[in-house]
Amino acid sequence: MASAIDICSSALVLIGTNPINSFTEPGAGARVASQLYESTLLRYLTDYYWGFATKKQSLNKLSQEPLNQYKYAYQKPSDLLAVITVRPVQTPYGVWGDFIYSDQSSLDIDYLFRPDDTEMPAYFTKALEYKLAADFALAITNNNSLNQTYEAKAQNEFAHARSIDARNAPPIPLLSSPFTDARNEGYGSWR
């Protein structure tokens, strides 16, 4: 899979500039790439609940009690970008600083983390390349038309990437609910 340098080099080539071999080499391409890569990546990782960037973890309850509002404090995972789900479901919680607070005596979470660049799937890295090309186009070439072209490509490619990623976790079917039960029982029996 692609490294950060590979992804940035591809984005630079898209806007008609030379690829780079490192973020520290001289030139506008390396300077701009080193400034924009990580923040752009984090922005798009937290834009959607990507399956490839999701972890599950049981949290470690801390011995200290929170000052107010919640009964228990948990250590936040060091690689947490955003909480997706807390279990038990519908558990009120809060994230402040390095801690997650809740009234539950045990807490499991699904959360987003920053995967290694080489572990990101091709459908995501291609979309990221287009987004970086859009940002690089303004910063390096000051070409607004090129920026708009790659911004549109990035939007389309991220929509496509979300669609591909969603296939990895199909929705759980709703087996029974008062709504579906009433709807199915009444089907064909209009009186």
Note the pLDDT tens digit of each residue in 37-51: 999 999 999 999 999
User: What pLDDT sits at residue 175?
Assistant: 63
Q: Name the 3-class secondary structure at 94.
A: strand
State how beta strands 108-113 and 80-87 pair.
antiparallel
Q: Alpha-carbon distance 105 to 124, whole Å?
A: 37
User: What pLDDT sits at residue 67?
Assistant: 81
**Sheet containing 72-75: which strands, arranged edge to edge?**
72-75, 99-102, 93-96
Judged on CB neighbours under 10 Å (0-12, 13-18, 19+), 64 is exposed
Given a cut of 90, whether residue 10 has pLDDT beyond it is yes
Q: CA angle at residue 91 from 85 to 94, to 5 degrees?
A: 80
Given a cut of 50, whether residue 190 has pLDDT beyond it is no
Q: Alpha-carbon distance 106 to 4, whole Å?
A: 37
Average pLDDT over residues 136-157: 95
User: What pLDDT sits at residue 18?
Assistant: 94
Q: 48-53 long-range contacts, Cβ below 8 Å, gap at least 24?
A: 48/158, 48/162, 48/165, 49/84, 49/112, 50/112, 50/124, 50/165, 51/165, 51/168, 51/169, 52/115, 52/119, 52/120, 52/121, 52/124, 52/165, 52/168, 53/81, 53/112, 53/113, 53/114, 53/115, 53/120
Confidence of residue 29 (pLDDT cuts 50, 70, 90): very high
User: What pLDDT sits at residue 58?
Assistant: 95
pLDDT in tens, 100-135: 999 999 999 999 999 999 999 999 999 999 999 999
Q: What is the pTM of this model?
A: 0.82
